[in-house]
Amino acid sequence: MSAGVWKEQVADKRKRQQEAIPPEWRYIDLPSNDQLNVLDVPATCGLLTPLELEITNVSDVSVLLKQLASAQWSSVQVTTAFCKRAVIAHQLTNCLTEIFLARALDRAAELDEYLKQHGTVMGPLHGLPISLKDQFCVKGLETVMGYAAWIGKVAAENAVLVDLLLDCGAVLYVRTNLPQTLMWAETNNNVFGRTVNPYNRNFAAGGSSGGEGSLIAMHGSILGAATDVAGSIRIPAHFCGIYGFKPSAHRIPSYGISDALDGQDSIPTCIGPLSSSLSGLMVFFQAVLSKQPWRRDPRTLNKPWDQDAYMLKGQNEGEQLCFGLLWNEGTITPTPPVNRALEQTKAALEKAGHIVINWEPFKHKEFYVNARAIWTSDGYADYRASVNTGEPLLHSMKPDADPSDVPPHRRPREPLSSFDVWQLNKERRELRKAHLDYWESSITRTGTGRPVDALICPGGPYPAVPHGHARPSFYTWMWNSLDYPVLAIPVTKVDASQDVKPPPHKFLSADDEGVYQLYDPVLFDGLPVGIQVMCPTQHEEMLLAIGKIVDKSLHDIGKQ
């Protein structure tokens, strides 16, 4: 197919996307491109009523669900408010792909009628608008996933998770942008374009769930479903100042989604939520498990919600936990605001009576090398098959990138044989066992009679970065390879007066030097900074409880 044809398809797709926005919502009083921080625009643009602002300014998902269940706010009111605010967010950050507002409002009206007739909610997410990353197939809608060749690919069925959310009473209204091939820490593709960070539109929103990150940061959604195979939930959460949760593989069903590297199951894609509140992550996880997802997806574990684990029965009910704190994974030195976030977290936990010990990186480079070899074992066959209409593969996220310049880390490798992949799987198995032993050995240092209860590490070595400057996601993909559940928790924001640039240090790598040169406290001022908190595989309930303790400790010492 000629370049002209795929570009015509893209133009038509963008036209249809624009037409999905009600005309009276399209041309609101938007700021010029010179206004970099656009978080206050929804309150000043004139599109939202006072009630709609009140509704969408709620951050705590549990509070909004109570308002819906008590009929203080109808689902139509709440859905209308979030539809309008999502459209505002999109016009400012380019965060949406599919926009299906009429369908959402019809669904909301049905839910209001159900509540009126039955006097009770349809399910634990009754009336709640939930956004979806553009991988979650919705019957009757295209699932483009950032590829021009997939324009016109209409889903015949819902993904399993979509059906479960509907069974829980949710309202689905928009899907969100992601990068071509998914395997980027920034969001840009040839179909929908680049998603920007609402804190500073010259900076990345993260990837691959960058559309969700920007939308939720703008309060155009309070809860969204996303995916994570190397950091795709946690990087946008870190960059955009929101909460994210990557469970272990196969706790939340993935059947029926569209995916890159589909069939690569050595390091599986994990499904999880992003939200403006920690309560949103828990509500999502509990709601999905309540519908017995293992009866819909053969790979989903038959593992109902474990209340004893959430009550930390095996951790002295949360009294004096011990945390391992990883300051530096040995490849890229964290920037000053990231170090300050770690220091603030350590001080908050110690003030709350917990123990924090230093955690040395363990075989991180070996995990990275193994994971990269697994992900590229097809020699980029998956990527080439997805751009079979003449659309070029993106080799950089820089706005001024030369399309013909392919950096070393994006150059195709020779495909590996099945036998070679088996050897990588064996290597990963041994690495996971070695890390488990290392974790267990910490029992000699904790003083609690247990190994560390959780690890804490940076959300990344830097806050959000200017477009095209994200480095490989060393601080996130380690935990995918280990299959650890991980929470992303916002902690603070860059403060130029505190987070001054230190003198040059002995650089650990070329990426380390690049990050040092990139960081400018004045340029980065005001950007969010977060942490990751993780537990061993399949300990999601325990992690959510520990995350609540961490978050509360931070709030108690005056979280910014």
Q: What residues are labeled active site?
A: 133, 208, 232
Amino acid, single-letter form, for residue 338: V
The closest alpha carbon to 57, from 236, 222, 243, belongs to 222
Question: Is 123 assigned to a binding site?
Answer: no
Residue with tokens 């004045």: 522
Is 208 part of any known ligand binding site?
Answer: yes
Residue ranges of E strands in 378-464: 454-458
- Write the DSSP string, 71-128: TSS-HHHHHHHHHHHHHHHHHHH--EEEE-HHHHHHHHHHHHHHHHHHSS-SSTTTT-
Task: Label residue 460 exposed, middle or buried (CB < 10 Å: 0-12, 13-18, 19+).
Answer: buried
Query: Which helix (H) or strand (E) is 381 found in, with range?
Result: helix 381-386
Return d(Cα 402, Cα 426) in angstroms, integer. 39
**129-133 β-sheet, strand order:** 96-99, 171-176, 129-133, 223-228, 270-275, 243-246, 486-493, 528-534, 454-458, 322-325, 355-358
Tell whether 229 is in a known binding site. Answer: yes
Q: Please enumerate in sequence order all residues whose Cβ is within 8 A of that of 267, keeping only pairs 6 or more positions apart, or say none.
A: 229, 230, 371, 374, 375, 428, 480, 481, 483
**With contact defined as beta carbons under 8 Å apart, do 474 and 368 qualify?**
yes
Residue whose pair of structure tokens reads 């995918």 in the numeric block? 480
Give the count of beta carbons closer than 10 Å to the beta carbon of residue 37: 14
For tokens 């197919």, the residue is 1
What is the 3-class SS of 273-297, one letter each residue? EEECCHHHHHHHHHHHHHCCHHHCC
Taking the C-alpha atoms of residue 84 and residue 231, their distance in angstroms, rounded to an integer, is 29
The residue to which tokens 């209001």 are assigned: 112
Measure the CA–CA gap between 345 and 378, rounded to whole angstroms: 41
Can you tell me which residue has the tokens 């809608």?
141
Residue 85 backbone dihedrals phi, psi, to 5 degrees = -70, -30
Q: Distance between CA atoms of 388 and 383, rounded to whole angstroms?
A: 9
* 527 annotated binding-site participant: no
Distance in Å from the first CA to the final CA of the chain: 52
474-482 helix and 418-441 helix, angle to the nearest 10 degrees? 100
248 upstream amide cis, omega within 30 of 0: no
Q: Is 231 annotated as a binding residue?
A: yes
The answer to whether residues 215 and 89 touch, using CB atoms and an 8 Å cutoff, is yes
Is 232 annotated as a binding-site member?
A: yes
Binding site membership: which residues?
Answer: 182, 208, 229-232
Binding site membership for substrate: which residues?
Answer: 182, 208, 229-232
